[in-house]
Structure 1
Amino acid sequence: MTGHTRPRIYGTDCDDAASCTTDPSREYVELDGGPLEGQLLDVTGLTAEERTIGAFLITPHSAYGPGGRASYAPAFSNPEGRWVWEGDVA
């Protein structure tokens, strides 16, 4: 065992190791803070406008309980590399 952990990809089932592997043909942003901290979000299919707005992502650990949503948006200091948590929404 190397001690290296793979980042979890948002929306995947990591019981299947293949679904937890990044695909070099796809684009990902890292989620920073909040209930989805450290996960990668696949933004390959998002338009440029959608990438500037961010997303409400379903999470099992929000202030509103399982199925609540967490708001993530691009970090102004690094808009291509990570999205920061803005808070939970109902």
Structure 2
Amino acid sequence: MVLGGLRGQVYGHDHDDPGPGPGRTCAELVGGPLDGLLLDIHGWRAEEVDDGVALITELGRWPGGRALYDPHPGEACKTGPGVACRFYYTGDP
């Protein structure tokens, strides 16, 4: 499900938030109910990035449930500000 109105917004921020703040590091969410959103991963350790995330969403299969997103194996996550990597939808638990 692609919700064009969400593209470039940061997960967990207000809908009128212009995007990630200066110097922030984000992962782009690809596929699933949160496709196109950015996830602020600024300050995360490499192990935390590798573990992926379970994000609360009302847009998934079960409202109030979680959507799982993981980095793609072998796809490097760069360091520094901006969109550093992508997390891909892997399902709803």
Normalising to structure 1: TM-score of the pair? 0.79
Cα RMSD between the aligned structures? 1.8
Runs of 4+ in 1 over 6 A off after TM superposition: none
Aligned residues: 81
Q: Which has the higher helix share?
A: 1
Which structure 2 residue ranges, 5 or more long, are not aligned?
A: 1-5, 78-84
Partner of 1:23: 21
CA 73–21 in structure 1, closer or farther in 2 if over 3 Å, else same = same
- State the alpha-carbon separation in 2 of the partners of residues 6 and 74 from structure 1: 19
Residues 29-40 of structure 1 mapped to structure 2, 5 A cutoff: 29-40=27-38
Give identity over the alignment, percent: 42
* Superposed CA offset, 1:20-60 (max 9, x none): 32223110010000000010000013221110010100111
Q: Residues 6 and 20 of structure 1 are in contact (CA less than 8 Å); yes or no, is this contact kept in structure 2? A: no
Which structure 1 residue ranges, 5 or more long, are not aligned?
A: none
- State the alpha-carbon separation in 2 of the partners of residues 44 and 79 from structure 1: 16
Which structure is higher in RCO with an 8 Å CA cutoff and minimum separation 6?
A: 2
Q: Secondary structure at the match of 1:78?
A: coil
Normalising to structure 2: TM-score of the pair? 0.77
